Amino acid sequence: MLDTHARKYVQPSIDKTARWLLEQDRTPDQVTILALVVGLGASVFYIMGYPVLAVVFLWMSGYLDAVDGTMARYTKSSPFGTVMDITFDRLVEIGIILAVAFVYPEVIWPLLLLSVSIIFSMTIFLVVGAVSEKAGVKSFYYQAGAAERTEGFILFSIMLLFPEFLFWTTLLFFAVETFTGLQRFVEAKKILR
């Protein structure tokens, strides 16, 4: 929801960074790889006991993820770049979930539920994008929902920074992600007739 409705407020900064990186002869794919490395670094820092640094790296990764997409739109978007982008986003999320499970194994069941809800929601998102004849600004139909990447990062940040609420925050994330999957499923029935 925030990605769809609040993007206009941060887009000028993203545009500026994207143009600067293109002027430095960087490619969108290079920035996608950098976003993955930075995002996985967040997991490493969390396991090492630096939750604030983990959150900083997580958000830097998310920012770079937005920048690479903008760079791709300024140049020529590649289908494989889209595959890398979506796959690497999930790897960053998986890394965070695994890091939290490593540090707090007592919340493994809520983390498994969260993982399942992400798989459910992303499956619908990707299948609708693949079969839809609609095309958005991105290289596939972007199906908005209650929980998009920003909401996920906010909830991940709360999980990382406030372990005393980890159990309930993880269950809240699971509920929001499941609701988003159901929301996308209902929308899919309407748009894919």
pLDDT band at 1 (very low <50, low <70, confident <90, very high): low
pLDDT band at 143 (very low <50, low <70, confident <90, very high): low
pLDDT at residue 5 in the model: 60
Nearest to 100 by CA among 161, 142, 149: 161
Q: Are the C-beta atoms of residues 43 and 94 closer than 8 Å to each other?
A: no
Q: How many domains are there within the chain? A: 1
Judged by DSSP in three states, 50 sits in coil
pLDDT at 6 exceeding the cut of 80: no
Per-residue pLDDT tens digits for 158-178: 999 999 999 999 999 999 999
pLDDT band at 95 (very low <50, low <70, confident <90, very high): very high
How crowded is residue 20: how many other Cβ atoms within 10 Å of its Cβ? 11
Per-residue pLDDT tens digits for 77-92: 788 998 999 999 999 9
CA distance to 75, 123, 144, 167, per residue, from 136 (Å): 16, 18, 11, 37
- Give the residue-averaged pLDDT of 100-113: 98
pLDDT at residue 79 in the model: 85
pLDDT at residue 33 in the model: 97
CA distance to 31, 35, 88, 116, 156, per residue, from 130 (Å): 24, 24, 18, 21, 28
State the sign of the Cα–Cα–Cα–Cα dihedral 99, 88, 36, 142. negative
Token duo for residue 154: 């906010």
Domain that holds residue 22: 2-191
pLDDT at 59 exceeding the cut of 70: yes
Q: For helices 51-74 and 79-103, what crossing angle results, to 10°?
A: 170
Q: Are the C-beta atoms of residues 61 and 35 closer than 8 Å to each other?
A: yes
- Give the residue-averaged pLDDT of 33-51: 98
Looking up residue 28, the CATH number of its domain turns out to be 1.20.120.1760
Nearest to 108 by CA among 95, 98, 117, 116: 98
Decide which of 123 and 4 is more confident. 123
pLDDT at 140 exceeding the cut of 60: no
pLDDT at 62 exceeding the cut of 80: yes
Burial class (CB in 10 A: 0-12, 13-18, 19+), 91: middle
Token duo for residue 74: 């300024």
pTM listed for this prediction: 0.89
Q: How many helices (H) and strands (E) does the chain have?
A: 7, 0
